[in-house]
Amino acid sequence: MARIVGTLRFLRALVAMNLRASLALRGAFWLQAAFMVLNNLVFFATWWLLFARYPEIGGWRLHDVLTLFGVVASGFGASAVFAGGVRDLARSIGEGELDSLLVQPKPVLLHAVASRTLASGWGDLATGVGMLWIAGALAPGMLGWTALAVATSGTVFTASGVIVQSLAFWIDGMETLARQIWEFTLTFSLYPRPLFTGEIAFLLYTLLPAGFVGFLPAELVRAPSVPLALAALAASLGWTLLALFVFGRGLRRYASGNRILP
């Protein structure tokens, strides 16, 4: 128990330090965050245009896509803010950058992913929260369900990132491929679930967990229920455990980069 509390304190310190580091470059921080909001809104305009012409796609309306986009943007933003190191994990493994973390007393994975933050993530988070507010998902009776949906979305997204990036322990030069596989998960999670059937739907709940990043959490906000909440929680727990397992197995194979880092 004391170990868990200690780890949580360490995580809190990392997050606080990252935030201070981001705000040290105040201009760049606000520029990145604000432009990301603008970027997301311009991107969402495509949906607005499509639904203005065709009010329903597979039973989904603009409001449903707004909810989906809000959940995914919030989850993705939280992942970028609190676990920004996932994006470069494969490179860190390949270049032996884990050396300095291995000699420290805190969990290597936690240190590697939480010691970096992306300022643009705040822009994603702000966009997502704004969209959820417009969609009515932040009403008092909904807040708990929405928070759970966002938390599970961000957790599965982060965990899936750790899994694909950890393949660098076994395969050289995984950086680009890992990032692309991860981005496919994000891409699929931003489109209405009814578009995907058969084997593709299966793929989106397994290899590319877009179903657990987007569809399931969004469904939890659209029609909250205890079974859906339990399913989302189980998914995030399952993916987290799988990520810990894969990273742990990979770490046993880790060969030092033999680099002296500044």
Partner 1 sequence: MSGARLAVSTQKYLAIARASARRAFAERAVLAGRVVFLGVILFIFSRIWETVLARGALTVSGAGKAELIWYLAVTEWCVLSVPPVFLAIESDVRSGDIACRLVRPVSYVGAQLAEALGETALRLLVLGPTGAAIAFALAGGWPADPWGLLLAAPLGALASALAVLSTAAIGLSAFWIVDTSPIYWIWQKLAFVLGGLLLPLELYPDWLRALARFSPFPAMLWGPGRMAFGFAPGAALETLLELLAWSALVAAGLAWLANRARLRLTVNGG
Binding site for partner 1 (CB under 8 A): 25, 27-28, 31-32, 34-36, 38-39, 42-43, 45-46, 49-50, 52-54, 56-58, 120, 173, 176-177, 180, 183-184, 187-188, 191, 194-196, 200
183 or 202, CB closer to partner 1? 183
CA angle 243, 248, 251 (to 5 degrees): 125
Measured from the CB atom, the residue of 42 and 226 that comes closer to partner 1 is 42
Nearest approach, Cβ of 36 to partner 1 (angstroms)? Answer: 7
* Of residues 7 and 187, the one with the C-beta less far from partner 1: 187
Phi, psi of 57 (to 5 degrees): -130, 110
Least distance from partner 1 to the Cβ atom of residue 39, Å: 4
DSSP H/E element including 145: helix 143-166
CB atoms within 10 A of CB 50: 13
State the minimum distance, in angstroms, from the CB of residue 19 to partner 1: 18
* Residue 158 tokens, joined: 């982060």
CB 19 within 8 A of CB 117: yes
Residue 196 or 212 with smaller CB distance to partner 1? 196
- Residue 58 Ramachandran class (φ > 0 left, ψ -120 to 50 alpha, else beta): left
Least distance in angstroms from the C-beta of 137 to partner 1: 24
Query: Whose Cβ is closer to partner 1: residue 109's or residue 119's?
Result: 119
Quote the CA–CA distance of 26 and 24 in Å, as a whole number.
Answer: 5
CA distance 106 to 117: 18
Task: Tell the smallest beta-carbon distance from residue 58 to partner 1 (Å).
Answer: 5
